[in-house]
């Protein structure tokens, strides 16, 4: 697995991937904080496209990512990750809505758990999932980070009108 770091407005992100696909983004804080594993190799080149697209996202000019991703997990978890990718930029949905979209309307808690295990946040936009009351709920990079990502998107949605 190759890895590198990317400085962003929310802190330094750890990017990792293999076989030409992005496999992981680690936050600088929170439960999704990650460090490179001992056998990983520091190399920015295999992650250049991911770095570029994330830089464009944080600059407010990229609304969709076009990257090969290595989505791992159970069949259910992968279905949740794929549903997350369908949430439009600048919009939010509830965990219950995701459960309905994957045909498992009673699996709201399991959707929340799968969302919380998302190894590729931002690109797979788990930050766009909120509680049914509209409240921001747990996020692997911390609620401040979730709020910052949603604010970034809100500030740049006028381009979509």
Return the active site residues.
126
What DSSP letter does each residue of 67-127 carry, written as one string?
--B---S-HHHHHHHHHHTTSPTT--EEHHHHHHHTT-TT-HHHHHHHHHT-SSTTTS-GG
**Which two structure tokens, joined as six digits, stand for 55?**
């830089």
CA atoms within 13 A on the CB side of 142: 10
Residues in contact with 55: Cβ distance below 8 Å, sequence separation at least 6, in sequence order? 6, 8
What is d(CA 73, CA 53) in angstroms, rounded to the nearest whole number?
24
What DSSP letter does each residue of 120-136 carry, written as one string?
STTTS-GGGEE-TTS--
């Amino acid at each position: 697995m190759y890895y590198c770091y990317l400085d962003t407005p929310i802190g330094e992100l750890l990017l990792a991937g293999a076989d030409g696909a992005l496999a992981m983004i680690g936050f600088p804080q929170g439960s999704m904080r990650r460090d490179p594993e001992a056998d990983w190799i520091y190399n920015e080149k295999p992650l250049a496209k991911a770095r570029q697209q994330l830089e464009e996202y944080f600059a407010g000019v990229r609304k969709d990512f076009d990257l090969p991703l290595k989505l791992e997990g159970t069949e259910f978890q992968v279905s949740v990750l794929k549903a997350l990718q369908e949430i439009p930029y600048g919009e939010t949905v509830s965990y219950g809505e995701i459960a309905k979209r994957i045909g498992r309307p009673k699996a709201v808690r399991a959707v929340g758990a799968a969302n919380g295990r998302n190894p590729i946040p931002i690109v797979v936009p788990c930050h766009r999932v909120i509680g049914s009351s509209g409240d921001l709920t747990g996020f692997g990079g911390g609620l401040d980070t979730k709020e910052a990502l949603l604010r970034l998107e809100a500030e740049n949605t006028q381009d979509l009108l």
